[in-house]
Structure 1
């Protein structure tokens, strides 16, 4: 479906809405949305920032159980599945992002915040969403208030706070693929002035790609692809018994055991086409739910252990109202994770072997932010200091399968340790290939240790001058950041290990600024113009041949014209923005040999990028029972002066990845009051994305993910009074049409597909 089809769908939806308005009883108005995008609570309509916000009711009705679901619902946000793990995502907003979001030496462009605490890495972000009051997606650079690595935008997760009164909220979900999910939330009565909230979420689902067939080796794991086993816990405490003082403490822990995406071979076939010279007889260009061997066309099992990710965090927020015009706030945060990742690319790079990757990552960070916020009759202001300390270590091991060991003699392991099979001689010792502990061929191991320390001072002030009937707000902001980082790489010393030892460091200081003029033409209509800068810090590539090579910071300036409006007695909310973003020294990834050795990646600064776009969010309360939302994003981009590490000018073949030209979503909700029986709710949402590039350098041919659309639905009977509690019963389905399009590509031959249709039921009790 191309642009003309997308326009037709949008026009149809708007026409339907207009027809309903002319024939149905009009609604009473839309509910106000409160956001904290500018470090204070204020109405979405009074905030001159382009924002998508989802409240708890929208999160439930749309089935937003993880961040991947949120990405599909927000057209300006792209969340491609990470190729080596099901516990991580890459985030792109307005075409700007970081595809390799898991590595420690390259920062992301979208800041992720949990109750104001920055999470430097997105590993574990696919933990189940629970206890959320709101998700805010801030589009465009947020360098002034949010700092480094927010060139694309920021995502705020805002959790619910303890009430101080006993309450129980229990949800149980069951579905196909043996899906089971339990979410328990308990508010406890206030004790010695402390309010508390406890929640737990458990999710299990079988893998939907059956990993079975020939080739199994005793002692190895053969889990199905896309399996999920997740647990999460959260504790929230609040103390507010002293006048003007509020103290919030939270602790969260998640334990995720999953298996990785399944990459199918989808390239050409023929004799002698594999890297080992063998024939490739089978190519699979439709979604498979069983594993296969491209060399034989038969079922084959691939060694696949579970990926285990354990993430934890703590935060302490202390807010004190010094007087009626000034508030001091301290936010102290600690986050950490341990990640043991396993992926098997299952012959998808040409049928020579099953490339296996095992990465063990440990990461922790400490953040401290001090804020002063306040307001007078004509001024609103916020100022603060910020500190970040981040330490991490990532150890990666790469293997090939047993067949290649037997044909080439690459190092392997048996129960006696490292060994050689075949031509490499007797040192180290020859492998016992019949040993039940015989491991796949060992290509090498390397470890990267990274340390980051960052300091910042920031401030922003909004002035309402005594002119134009107080309709004009002028805002200026500035931030200064000092960013220091260092990294070292060590390896196992094997001669054929491509990733040799090395070290690097960088020292970056950078100012950012923003300026906004916001004018309220009427009580319900305003426009704003904004210019803002941001930067992404420099770093290095853990998979570069020369680890001493570094890349510098990437800088950005954005110009934006936006509007906020509420029409027809607050029955229609229509917000949007037109923007142009200019990026200097853009950070690009380069795979020197994506066909034969996709694991080698250079990261470098090159050229400039210009992005132009339009986005709008339309929400209509057409009747007291029916609401319709339409969200749309358009992106046009170009890159100039793209000089690559080999000296070539590849401007014509370099593109922005995960930046669909058009994307939109349509959301419809219809609610009917049934008296004593409760409320019947019907929900449909459809999200569509244009085709998009999966690789920035397309010299080897365009690597494109085709356009696709996902339809989801949910019907529930809510607020049923029964057995002393309030009940909800629901049926739901995701990917109702069983869309089986491609959703990721690595090179020309390695492909994953969308998840099949899933469906289930929810039972919820509130007491």
Structure 2
């Protein structure tokens, strides 16, 4: 606790300063020039961003369009202390970390540390998160553990995606986009009020791009892909008190994976690959046969909302979802390309280093019942409910370990495993906010309570090295946890408030699909996190400036960490081997400089270290890295808009920076610090008869920076492979609205 006090002191000084500024300058600012209110649903209710005692960034549909965000992976550059990267075996799945807490590996037998929610429905698997979302309304990123209100108990945070709801106004919008490297996208959105009480909404999106590394071998170019997404929604206002909302969504991705190239040789074991290593990004590489990867994700949801009376609303969210994924990855692009393809005749699969074929199937059912309202003459606002989640999944992978085959391994150097898994979670939760009569009702006390019971079981069949060490093993994990939270909030003035919070969260145990048989059967236990946070939210200069601050301190115990098997280069085991301390701060500033110009600045600081890391019985914390934990990250943007004779002119410039960080707990695989510049320029609301036309030019990574999107340190094998991020991209959007 002693390290937490400097944050409290600095926050107190800053709160006093902002309160004084707000009082001194309130009369000096022009009337009628204020920031628009940002409305969020982070606490299961509609409220102002400034009233939610959470470190939270929200993007509405207009901001999402300006930033070119169409999937979860696009938001990283705009949210400090959020880091995402493509998963090594499948670019369509994203590893997400918030404040240094997340998953470096994604498996059907592990829960994610960062929960992703689509219209209130928890997505159990991260597969397909880079898929387009056809009808985005808003995205909210909640930094910090969400152990009370959200569907699953997540230690890192939550990403909440909201789709547009049907409404009573007819509308039709068609958007066409065209860019370099063969990029195109078409999006159609329609809203149809059938009657006064029944409304329909439909959206369809389709896109394609050529990728940014040419493949001179067989198959698509690296990164080439096609996407499509559809969403159908219906709203029935059954009565003044009861409404039903049904939605169906489906997204598909097909294409080639990103290219891993050998960038560095780290020891003599890889001396034979020295001639193939290139530290610079290569525009042309090749593999023997780049097979297509695909993701198909979708589901149904039904939400019933019953306004029982002025003090009670009951909401039911019922959902069913499915995913089907095939991923092929060949890690040999450099070796194949620069050797002229001389090795494939020596190995069965035709890949010089390693290639993997992974199939994953999962379905899930969830049911949530919420009770929202107030009592005690409005002094107590509450949210309570019950949550049930059930998933079944299977995963199989064929890995060709061709480094062993090239080294003269006497048997077939392949590993094949099959996993069957199921998980079940049941929780009861509540959150009560009490505003007593004292202190002019400026004091707010919030108590969160949640009890969760989790059960998971899994079976693995493993055929290793032509069944030299094959076996079928099973295991089961059960756990339960009570995770309370408590928040004190105080309204310093009508426009400035402060809060202090203590929260607990846990992540259920599970199994590592890539683990050795013995350790797979043993599984791993839950991890726990105790979080302290203080913050303030202020609107100054007659609400022309909004500044939100947060500082946090984490105590992380029984940390689930992956450790490479010393014998099998593709095997990892997960142990409750770690303890970590994480601290940091966030600042989000929005300032209306003039009537036409708005400044946005977001900054994140993170200090993350292992206090303990036991690796196969040895304490090695001093040599381990907390992955995806950049010390400094920030985003700065200027948005300009003003009416002109034919419509409204708008321009935006944004710059995002992220310090270097490591991709895993071990080795030297890292992302160097990088700053990326983007911009948009457009004219909207151009009248064409009864319709409106918008034209927007856009560009991303305008300085054409070279940076690592992901790296793998192959440890004793002696080399590092790297996926480089997308080069400069630019294009134009045309939108016609009726």
Query: What residue number does 2:653 align with?
Result: 684
Contact between 2:413 and 2:465, CA under 8 Å: does it hold in 1? no
Q: 1:24 and 1:304, CA in 2 relative to 1: closer, same or farther beyond 3 A?
A: farther
Of the three residues 648, 651, 657, the one matched with 2:627 is: 657
Q: Are residue 381 (structure 1) and residue 350 (structure 2) matched?
A: no
Q: Tell me how far apart the structure 2 counterparts of residues 208 and 160 of structure 1 sit (CA, whole Å).
A: 33
Of the three residues 432, 435, 438, the one matched with 1:464 is: 435
Q: 1:551 and 1:493, CA in 2 relative to 1: closer, same or farther beyond 3 A?
A: closer
Contact between 1:223 and 1:306, CA under 8 Å: does it hold in 2? yes
Alpha-carbon deviations, 1:468-497, whole Å to 9, x = none? 000001000110011001000013476456
Of the three residues 247, 251, 257, the one matched with 2:248 is: 251
Deviation at 1:757, TM superposition (A): 0.5
Contact between 2:99 and 2:156, CA under 8 Å: does it hold in 1? yes
Q: Tell me how far apart the structure 2 counterparts of residues 349 and 279 of structure 1 sit (CA, whole Å).
A: 7
Q: Are residue 142 (structure 1) and residue 108 (structure 2) matched?
A: no
Q: 1:750 and 1:715, CA in 2 relative to 1: closer, same or farther beyond 3 A?
A: same
Q: Indicate the larger mover: 653-662 or 277-286.
A: 277-286
Q: Tell me how far apart the structure 1 counterparts of residues 334 and 575 of structure 2 sit (CA, whole Å).
A: 27
Q: Tell me how far apart the structure 1 counterparts of residues 525 and 367 of structure 2 sit (CA, whole Å).
A: 26
Q: Are residue 341 (structure 1) and residue 335 (structure 2) matched?
A: no
Q: Tell me how far apart the structure 1 counterparts of residues 468 and 549 of structure 2 sit (CA, whole Å).
A: 51
Query: What residue number does 2:605 align with?
Result: 634
* Structure-2-length-normalised TM-score: 0.90
Aligned pair count reads: 690
Q: Tell me how far apart the structure 2 counterparts of residues 200 and 442 of structure 1 sit (CA, whole Å).
A: 45
Q: 1:279 and 1:476, CA in 2 relative to 1: closer, same or farther beyond 3 A?
A: closer
Contact between 2:133 and 2:229, CA under 8 Å: does it hold in 1? no
Local SS of the residue matching 1:640: strand
Q: Tell me how far apart the structure 1 counterparts of residues 93 and 656 of structure 2 sit (CA, whole Å).
A: 21
Q: Indicate the larger mover: 745-754 or 574-583.
A: 745-754
Q: How does 1:350-365 map to 2 (within 5 A)?
A: 353-365=352-364
Alpha-carbon deviations, 1:350-390, whole Å to 9, x = none? 99823111101100100000111102421100110110001
* Structure-1-length-normalised TM-score: 0.87
Local SS of the residue matching 1:261: coil
Q: Are residue 519 (structure 1) and residue 517 (structure 2) matched?
A: no
Q: Tell me how far apart the structure 2 counterparts of residues 659 and 498 of structure 1 sit (CA, whole Å).
A: 37
Task: Point out 4+ residue stretches in structure 1 off by more than 4 angstroms.
Answer: 23-27, 347-352, 403-408, 496-499
Q: Are residue 530 (structure 1) and residue 501 (structure 2) matched?
A: yes
Q: 1:247 and 1:658, CA in 2 relative to 1: closer, same or farther beyond 3 A?
A: same
Contact between 1:198 and 1:234, CA under 8 Å: does it hold in 2? yes
Local SS of the residue matching 1:606: strand
Q: Tell me how far apart the structure 2 counterparts of residues 743 and 135 of structure 1 sit (CA, whole Å).
A: 23
Q: Are residue 207 (structure 1) and residue 211 (structure 2) matched?
A: yes
Q: 1:500 and 1:225, CA in 2 relative to 1: closer, same or farther beyond 3 A?
A: farther
Local SS of the residue matching 1:543: coil
Q: Are residue 312 (structure 1) and residue 281 (structure 2) matched?
A: no
Local SS of the residue matching 2:92: coil
Of the three residues 714, 723, 733, the one matched with 2:699 is: 733
Of the three residues 593, 614, 618, the one matched with 2:585 is: 614
Alpha-carbon deviations, 1:685-743, whole Å to 9, x = none? 11110010112124xxx332210111111111100001431000111111100011222
Deviation at 1:65, TM superposition (A): 2.0
Deviation at 1:24, TM superposition (A): 12
Deviation at 1:655, TM superposition (A): 2.1
Q: Which has the higher strand share?
A: 2
Of the three residues 41, 47, 61, the one matched with 1:36 is: 41
Alpha-carbon deviations, 1:738-759, whole Å to 9, x = none? 0112221100511111111111
Q: Tell me how far apart the structure 2 counterparts of residues 520 and 194 of structure 1 sit (CA, whole Å).
A: 41
Q: Are residue 186 (structure 1) and residue 185 (structure 2) matched?
A: no
Q: 1:279 and 1:195, CA in 2 relative to 1: closer, same or farther beyond 3 A?
A: closer
Q: How does 1:186-335 map to 2 (within 5 A)?
A: 186-191=190-195, 193-212=197-216, 221-268=218-265, 273-274=269-270, 278=272, 280-291=274-285, 300-335=286-321
Q: Which has the higher helix share?
A: 2
Of the three residues 94, 114, 119, the one matched with 2:123 is: 119
Query: What residue number does 1:62 align with?
Result: 67
Q: Tell me how far apart the structure 2 counterparts of residues 681 and 400 of structure 1 sit (CA, whole Å).
A: 53
Alpha-carbon deviations, 1:129-187, whole Å to 9, x = none? 33122101111111011154411111111111111332111100001111010010011
Q: 1:340 and 1:182, CA in 2 relative to 1: closer, same or farther beyond 3 A?
A: same
Deviation at 1:672, TM superposition (A): 1.9
Query: What residue number does 2:367 align with?
Result: 368
Query: What residue number does 1:766 align with?
Result: 737
Q: 1:483 and 1:474, CA in 2 relative to 1: closer, same or farther beyond 3 A?
A: same
Alpha-carbon deviations, 1:183-219, whole Å to 9, x = none? 1001113248320000000011112111115xxxxxx
Contact between 1:147 and 1:534, CA under 8 Å: does it hold in 2? no
Q: 1:570 and 1:608, CA in 2 relative to 1: closer, same or farther beyond 3 A?
A: same
Deviation at 1:606, TM superposition (A): 1.4
Contact between 2:414 and 2:464, CA under 8 Å: does it hold in 1? no
Q: Indicate the larger mover: 459-468 or 373-382.
A: 373-382
In structure 1, list runs of 5 or more residues that go unmatched.
1-20, 214-220, 292-299, 411-422, 425-440
Q: 1:64 and 1:134, CA in 2 relative to 1: closer, same or farther beyond 3 A?
A: same
Deviation at 1:346, TM superposition (A): 1.2
Q: Tell me how far apart the structure 1 counterparts of residues 272 and 595 of structure 2 sit (CA, whole Å).
A: 66
Deviation at 1:665, TM superposition (A): 0.4
Q: 1:279 and 1:466, CA in 2 relative to 1: closer, same or farther beyond 3 A?
A: closer
Of the three residues 152, 171, 178, the one matched with 1:174 is: 178
Q: 1:604 and 1:590, CA in 2 relative to 1: closer, same or farther beyond 3 A?
A: same
Query: What residue number does 1:152 align with?
Result: 156
Q: Tell me how far apart the structure 2 counterparts of residues 703 and 693 of structure 1 sit (CA, whole Å).
A: 6
Contact between 1:27 and 1:622, CA under 8 Å: does it hold in 2? no
Local SS of the residue matching 2:62: helix
Contact between 2:231 and 2:248, CA under 8 Å: does it hold in 1? yes
Query: What residue number does 1:89 align with?
Result: 94
Of the three residues 561, 565, 573, the one matched with 2:546 is: 573
Deviation at 1:525, TM superposition (A): 0.2
Deviation at 1:273, TM superposition (A): 4.7
Q: Tell me how far apart the structure 2 counterparts of residues 534 and 499 of structure 1 sit (CA, whole Å).
A: 37
Q: Tell me how far apart the structure 1 counterparts of residues 458 and 468 of structure 2 sit (CA, whole Å).
A: 19
Q: Tell me how far apart the structure 2 counterparts of residues 185 and 724 of structure 1 sit (CA, whole Å).
A: 17
Of the three residues 125, 131, 135, the one matched with 2:135 is: 131
Contact between 1:691 and 1:707, CA under 8 Å: does it hold in 2? yes
Of the three residues 512, 524, 538, the one matched with 1:551 is: 524
Of the three residues 676, 693, 697, the one matched with 2:662 is: 693
Deviation at 1:400, TM superposition (A): 5.2
In structure 2, list runs of 5 or more residues that go unmatched.
1-25, 344-351, 714-718
Q: Tell me how far apart the structure 1 counterparts of residues 171 and 487 of structure 2 sit (CA, whole Å).
A: 43
Query: What residue number does 2:452 align with?
Result: 481
Local SS of the residue matching 1:312: strand
Q: Tell me how far apart the structure 2 counterparts of residues 99 and 269 of structure 1 sit (CA, whole Å).
A: 22
Local SS of the residue matching 2:290: coil
Q: Tell me how far apart the structure 2 counterparts of residues 239 and 150 of structure 1 sit (CA, whole Å).
A: 33
